[in-house]
Structure 1
Amino acid sequence: MTKLRIGTRTSKLARIQTQMVVDVLQMPVEIVPIISKGDQIQDRSLANSGGKGLFVSVFEQALQNDQIDIAVHSGKDMPSQITEGFYVPAVLKRANPADLLLSKTPIQPGAIIGTSSPRRANLYKRIDPTCQIKLLRGNVETRLHKLEDGFYDGIILAKAGLDRLQIDVSSYVVQTLDILPATAQGIIALEARNGFRLSKDIDDQKTHILFDVERKLMAKMHADCHDAASVYAQWIDTNTLCIQAFYQDSDILTRYTDMDHVDDCIQEMAGILYG
């Protein structure tokens, strides 16, 4: 039987997420490690070095050159509009999308907070206008080492990544931040060339709807990692979504919609937030 070739980034978290995909696929696979430009650039933010496409473009090239069949991405690392010729055939069930603030001692006003995310910087500034935002790049382990070494008073990380890495954070002061998570945070997404098919059983359809809605509104706002912006959708019942979003310094906008009117809701929210 021909093995399915799966492209993955080389970090420990990426390998764990790829194994989660392999476990769901339950078929022979070949893992193809790929180093993205986003992994190579560590001295500046994504917004100042090319955006989220730095994590995706090398995989799309490998897909186009028939070196891999599918690519595994963290949903939050994908640009809000996928490149023509490619699509997302499946996503896994969403993990907890929350952001956590980790520190060695309780955070005080004016603290140095590590993040490379304009979204996190903007929303944390609303919590503490006196804080100092300092660039933080690298994988999860590297970021924790920088906190241990005293470069920051606190750092903001995604709970999903910490959970998947099974990192014990009991030695830190951990605060769950009441802020909007990144668009598609906690979602593992598969990318393939148009026409490539996977079993529908692999796709978590409820999560896929959230993935599509969040990214569609981000695209309508012409927003990506270079913007302080986010869209977060949640299921309220089997046919109703709560969609929350902000763009730059706007207030967080909340709307409820049934699935028959979700496109109208996205259009309305984009008009209010982006103009």
Structure 2
Amino acid sequence: MAANNKEKRTIIVGTRQSALALTQTGQVIDELKRISEQHGFDYAFEIRKIVTKGDQILDVTLSKVGGKGLFVKEIEQALLDGEIDMAVHSMKDMPYELPEGLMNGAVPKRVDPRDCLIMKQGGSLADLPHGAKVGTSSLRRSCQLKNLRPDLVVESIRGNIDSRIRKLETEGYDAVVLAAAGLNRMGWENRISAFLPEDVSVPAVGQGALGIECRENDEQIRGLLDLFNDGETAYAVRAERSFLGALNGGCQIPIGAHAVVRKGADGTLEGAELTLTGIVGSADGEVLLKEIKTGSDPEALGKEVAAALIARGADRILAEIGG
């Protein structure tokens, strides 16, 4: 799909107003400017900050706030109302089903999808003493940590990245768990004490990736975003999101999935295969179900891994949690 390069246009980009959201939106705009110049498009860009429900409620755990799309609904409404032309989301915040008339126009190249520890002392998960106090905003992370280390006291911690890190000192945490991607995008990699490998903490669906959402009928924006899309990342994320959709899950329940791409013999996605790891766990960490399967059709693979977990009781676990 070719973008119209003859018409001057200011593209309004919607985003949450946290430092991380604004930073990653700025990085997206910088890349879109480069692409626009390369292809002779006459586009300018403007950021529009939008407050979401998830940003307004900071004294309650996300799982208790309830509902899907806590960090995207208000932004999507602005898209539907024509107040903005595209939106930059962390892919892990995006529900499987998008509102009618909206689409994911691009999935840029993914950065590190792993979870990581920011610790007061020590350099690994094993260094945390018995009964250490660990903060996380995610039931998925809490579930996996409790399953591996039942001795840990895992407590809910909300707020932006820097405020959560500050709570190591102000609220007596021994460690906090964050997405490495956010620290990467902020240039704060040096704050990471240890990465949690996938066999310890399976990432959230789409973690490390961004979703650039737009209106289906906006041909100019779709043409521009098509040039920004990373095929390999999009291929992997499709499998992860298919898994999420099959479980009817959201980002507030203990669901995780990560797909790894093995390219075809010619080094392209032609003949490529995906290995998808999916988990569903109980909030207390006592039950943690995991399935790993390989396939070439992202949507079919996501559904297959979800079906295998449902056969083992994942649907009952999610029903109890409220998924």
Give the TM-score taking structure 1 as reference length: 0.93
Question: By how many angstroms is 1:251 displaced?
Answer: 2.9
Q: 2: distance between equivalents of 1:153 and 1:145?
A: 11
Q: Please say which structure displays the higher CA radius of gyration.
A: 2
Determine the structure 2 residue equivalent to 1:45. Answer: 61
What is the match of residue 103 of structure 2?
87
Amino acid at match of 1:13: L
Moved more, 43-52 or 57-66: 43-52
Q: Hey, what does 2:195 align to over in structure 1?
A: 176
Name the residue aligned to 1:266.
Answer: 302
The Cα offsets for residues 121-173 of structure 1, whole Å up to 9 and x where unpaired, read as 01111221111111110000110111122431110011111111112535x7x
Instruction: Answer whether contact 1:244 1:253 (CA < 8 A) is retained.
Output: yes
Distance (whole Å) between structure 2 residues aligned to residue 264 and residue 212 of structure 1: 10
CA distance in structure 1 between the aligned counterparts of 2:68 and 2:119, rounded to whole angstroms: 27
Cα RMSD, aligned residues only: 1.6
Query: 2:36 matched to 1:3?
Result: no
Paired amino acid for 1:121 = S
Cross-structure match for 2:139? 118
1:198 corresponds to which of 206, 223, 232: 223
Deviations 1:58-105, CA, capped at 9 Å, x for gaps: 011111111000011011111122222211010110000111111111
Task: Kindly provide the CA deviation profile for residues 188-245 of structure 1, in whole angstroms up to 9, marking residues without a partner as x.
Answer: 1111122222322111121112222111111101222232111110112230111000
Structure 2: which amino acid aligns with 1:89?
Answer: G
Pairing of 1:1-275 with structure 2 (within 5 A): 1-26=8-33, 27-106=43-122, 107-167=128-188, 169-170=190-191, 174-178=193-197, 179-196=201-218, 197-199=222-224, 200-238=226-264, 239-248=272-281, 249-259=287-297, 262-275=298-311
C-alpha separation between the residues in 2 aligned to 1:168 and 1:89? Answer: 29
Q: Which moved more, 1:82-91 or 1:135-144?
A: 82-91
**Could you say if the C-alpha distance between residues 168 and 190 of structure 1 is closer, same or farther in structure 2, counting changes exceeding 3 Å?**
closer
CA distance in 2, matches of 1:220, 1:47: 19
Does the CA-based 8 Å contact 1:76-1:184 persist in structure 2? Answer: yes
The structure-2 alpha-carbon separation of the partners of 1:162 and 1:102, relative to structure 1 and needing over 3 Å to count, comes to same
Q: Cα 1:135–1:201, aligned 2, differ >3 Å: closer, same or farther?
A: same
- 2:302 & 2:207 partners in 1: Cα distance? 19
The one-letter amino acid paired with 2:234 is: H
Cα shift at 1:30: 1.3
Counterpart of 1:48 in 2: which secondary structure? helix
The runs of at least 4 aligned residues of structure 1 exceeding 4 Å deviation read none
Deviates more, 1:176-185 or 1:75-84: 75-84
Q: Which deviates more from structure 2 when the two are superposed, residues 88-97 or residues 149-158?
A: 149-158
Please tell me whether the aligned partners of residues 46 and 52 of structure 1 are also in contact (alpha carbons under 8 angstroms): no
Aligned identity (percent) is 35
Aligned length: 271
| SS in structure 1 at match of 2:204 | coil
What secondary structure, in the 3-state scheme, does the structure 1 residue paired with 2:70 have? Answer: helix
Structure 1: segments with no counterpart, 5+ residues:
none
- List runs of 5+ in structure 2 lacking aligned partners: 1-7, 34-42, 123-127, 265-271, 282-286, 312-323
Alpha-carbon separation, structure 1, partners of 2:102 and 2:229: 17
- The separation in 1 between residues aligned to 2:47 and 2:247, in whole angstroms, is 36
Letter of the structure 2 residue corresponding to residue 253 of structure 1: E
Q: Which deviates more from structure 2 when the two are superposed, residues 203-212 or residues 248-257?
A: 248-257
